[in-house]
Structure 1
Amino acid sequence: MRKEERYKAVIDWFARHVPDADTELHYQDPFQLLVAVILSAQCTDKRVNMVTPALFRAYPTAEDMARASAEDLLHYISSVSYPNNKAKHLAGMARMLLSDFGGVVPAEVAELTKLPGVGRKTANVIASVVFGKPAMAVDTHVFRVSNRIGLTTNSKTPLETERELVRHIPEELIPRAHHWLILHGRYICLARKPKCDDCGIAPFCLHYARIRKKAAESDIPHNKN
């Protein structure tokens, strides 16, 4: 199967079977999503959703959070990964939102990445989820799944993966495709033991094709002469 055919088959399957894929983070507005995505770095969405309700009750807006110290915020987020750094990032992010952006979360990736704690992946999530822009956020799930399926070829970095995916996926589908790949990696295409028998895109998957080929070869009788 050529790569173009694989992309079309995978996209068609997801579009039919997972048409409404979206983030699993809980939020009410762009600021809250930005906070949640910062907290989600190397942490599960489930854990983030456990800590944000109390955090948002105490600091529902950028103005409220900008008045808090990192120590204040740490009290609410101590159970997430790297809480000390993230508390500093949240405090700095809220203050910069006020000082540089009038308290409004910017829509452009280049502007978002100026904020403390906001790298390219986080910026792409905000740009795509909130503003519907064709930005492909590449986390560990997207990076792994894309390579395993065969959507990317020997990508060494998230940026390489991002560029290849954006090049092949129709622009209007990129925001959804980001969630397709994340959720697929989270629940089906697991890192250690992918659930290939439960995978709807297995017929188009390069990894699964290799598994079948290896199994077929192992069944070929060997000539002992």
Structure 2
Amino acid sequence: MSSHDHEWDESAVRDLHAELVDLYGPVGASDAHGADSDADPGEGVRQLLTTILSQNVADTNTERAAERLFATYEDLAAIESAPLDELAETIRVAGLADTKAARIQRALAAIREETGGAYSLAFLDAMATDEAKAWLTDIKGVGPKTASVVLNFHFGKPTMAVDTHVERVSKRFGLVPESASNARAHDVLDAVIPDELTYPMHVLLIEHGRTHCAARTADCDNPVCERYCDCEWC
């Protein structure tokens, strides 16, 4: 059955999840714990900054930039108040350094202003998912993917982070219209994927994109592609 013949509702998504689990194995629970811990209220903020660093760059360079950022500055206040050119040089390995430095400082300022001086995102935990996403994406440079990473991975909220793999596979399977923007893809997947499957489906769709459903010369010789995909290689 091609994706164009497939009606996607909650039951169909559960079937797809089961078939992906058959192919790749079950996904463990997310490390999300519901809110910033009392011991380290800045943990969620650091995840947000790391996710900003990760925009359009390889994981290894993200890790190097994050390590350098948090080793260079004593605390989050020092990052916010650092000279912009100095901060950009610190995170240069992440690419788009000037842009990302400005985004990081805007994010820290927004958080500090919201909390009355604290660098903590714990207030997002009490918000509805849509409200929390809207608060984050109001920060210039924080898009739906960055917001969804923080909300799903750190707070356990049911919002799908749509990276290039998730978007490509979702469109090939017909979960998301081919013409949909990345922002629209977030909305469509959040609407159709059951809340408790948001994190495992994120992991499994990425695995499928990396293992079989590559951007070019896809390997469609697997049961999931045979049932759901109608890309040019199927």
Tell me which interval the TM-score lies in, with the shorter structure as reference length. Answer: 0.7 to 0.9
Contact 1:7 1:169 in 2 (8 A): yes
Q: Sequence identity of aligned pairs in percent?
A: 29
1:14 — aligned with what?
20
Change (3 A) 1:117 1:93: same
* Cα RMSD, aligned residues only: 2.6
Unaligned runs of 5+ in 2: 32-41, 125-131
**Alignment partner of 1:192 out of 216, 219, 225:** 216
1:166 is matched by which residue type in structure 2? Answer: D
Q: Are 1:145 and 1:185, in contact at CA under 8 Å, matched by a contact in 2?
A: yes
Contact 1:22–1:179, Cα closer than 8 Å, also in 2 = no
Equivalent position SS for 2:79: helix
Q: CA offsets, 1:140-188, max 9 Å, x none?
A: 2221110112322334212332233223211111133223323432444
Distance across 2 between alignment mates of 1:90 and 1:189: 33
Q: 2:145 aligns with which of 89, 98, 121?
A: 121
Of 3, 22, 44 in structure 1, the residue corresponding to residue 7 of structure 2 is: 3
Aligned mate of 1:136, from 154, 160, 164: 160
- Secondary structure, counterpart of 2:230 in structure 1: helix
2:78 pairs with 64, 69, 76, which one? Answer: 64
Residues 220 and 233 of structure 2 are in contact (CA less than 8 Å); yes or no, is this contact kept in structure 1? no
- Partner residue, 1:92: 106
- Residues 172-224 of structure 1, C-alpha deviation per residue, up to 9 Å, x if partnerless? 11133223323432444221222334x5622333226x645xxxxxxxxxxxx
Higher mean C-alpha displacement, 90-99 vs 7-16: 7-16
Q: SS of the counterpart of 2:49?
A: helix
Q: Aligned equivalents of 1:180 and 1:129: distance in 2?
A: 15
Q: CA deviation at 1:113?
A: 1.7
Q: Which one is further off, 54-63 or 166-175?
A: 54-63
Q: What are structure 1's unaligned runs of at least 5 residues?
A: 213-225
TM-score if structure 2 supplies the norm length? 0.76
Task: Select the structure of larger CA radius of gyration.
Answer: 1
What SS does the aligned partner of 1:79 have? helix
Structure 1 partner of 2:120: 104
Provide the aligned length of Structure 1 versus Structure 2: 206
Q: Give the C-alpha shift of residue 7 in structure 1.
A: 2.7
One-letter amino acid of the structure 2 residue matched with residue 176 of structure 1: P
Q: Is the 1:62–1:97 Cα contact (8 Å) retained in structure 2?
A: no
8 Å CA contact 2:160, 2:199 repeated in 1: yes
Separation (CA, whole Å) in 2 of partners of 1:183 and 1:34: 23
State the TM-score, normalized to the length of structure 1.
Answer: 0.78
What corresponds to 1:178 in structure 2?
A: 202
Higher relative contact order (CA 8 A, sep 6+): 2
The one-letter code sitting in structure 2 at the alignment partner of 1:3 is E
Distance 1:155 1:83 in 2: 31
Deviations 1:119-150 (A, max 9, x none): 12211111111111111222322211101123
Q: Which residue identity does 1:13 align to in structure 2?
A: E
Specify whether residues 207 and 47 from structure 1 end up closer, same or farther in structure 2 by C-alpha distance, changes over 3 A only: farther
